[in-house]
Structure 1
């Protein structure tokens, strides 16, 4: 229970209370506007209490989660694994898992490797079945020319080389 009295949690409690009070105040204000003949305010006067209720719901969930973590049960413990054909000591324990050898670390690919693989994939995609179609090949050539000459107008395009 003391965890809910830390400065962080006290600020969260005050914030939740202020938000709920503000939303209920806005609902009361919308009720006054609805009495003056504003039909749209009727809907808003019903919405604000719902928003306040949702804020209370989220606050309760956060408090319960904090209390659960304080009790040492952040979530359900993973069930022990039963091995069907392993014999009498079929269940694994934390001690056995710690004693198991760890696999060697896997090296992450470098930026150059990733760039090279992406370039190879793009080249393979360009050389795909679409190049069999002469119209698609001509359009791809045009796009390549535009990329190579970004400052020249499209009217300077020489056409497909033969």
Structure 2
């Protein structure tokens, strides 16, 4: 639990508390506007507390990851966890640490269509070539 009382975490606690209080205050403000007759404010009156719940969710998830020793927001593991963990066999033997990576998925590329296979594509390419060769001509002047 001491990990949650570092200067960085104190700032996170304060920011989360201010955001939740601000979002709830904005929700209450929208309820008062909706009660005065602004019907659109009913949607906002629901939306602001949802934002507050999202802040609480993010704060809880990050606090849980920090207490469990998971990755910190910067991406590095806490130093205390590294000191407690035994050294793996491959690190002692001088081999690099293996890392698990996600498989790379690529979209299957479509085979290109050749102009000689598609008469419409060939006609369109001829039209574009004519337009390029005659920059001052109008498309209606195309002879083909």
With the length of structure 2 as denominator, give the TM-score of the two structures: 0.57
Matched, 1:138 2:123: yes
TM-aligned CA distance change 1:12 to 1:139, over 3 Å? same
Task: Pick the structure with more helix per residue.
Answer: 1
Ranked by relative contact order (alpha carbons within 8 Å, sequence separation 6 or more), the top structure is 2
Matched, 1:55 2:71: no
In the alignment, which of 61, 85, 89 is matched to residue 95 of structure 1? 89
CA RMSD of aligned residues (A): 3.7
Q: How far has the Cα of 1:142 moved from its partner?
A: 2.9
Give unpaired runs (5+ residues) of structure 2. 70-77, 83-87, 97-110
Runs of 4+ in 1 over 4 A off after TM superposition: 96-99, 156-160
In structure 1, the residue matched to 2:112 is 125
> What is the count of residue pairs matched by the alignment?
115
With the length of structure 1 as denominator, give the TM-score of the two structures: 0.52
TM-aligned CA distance change 1:23 to 1:153, over 3 Å? same
Q: How far has the Cα of 1:21 moved from its partner?
A: 0.7
1:122-161 deviations in Å (ceiling 9; x for gaps): xx936x2x41444432321332455x65x9234498868x
Give the structure with higher Rg (CA).
1
In structure 1, the residue matched to 2:22 is 22
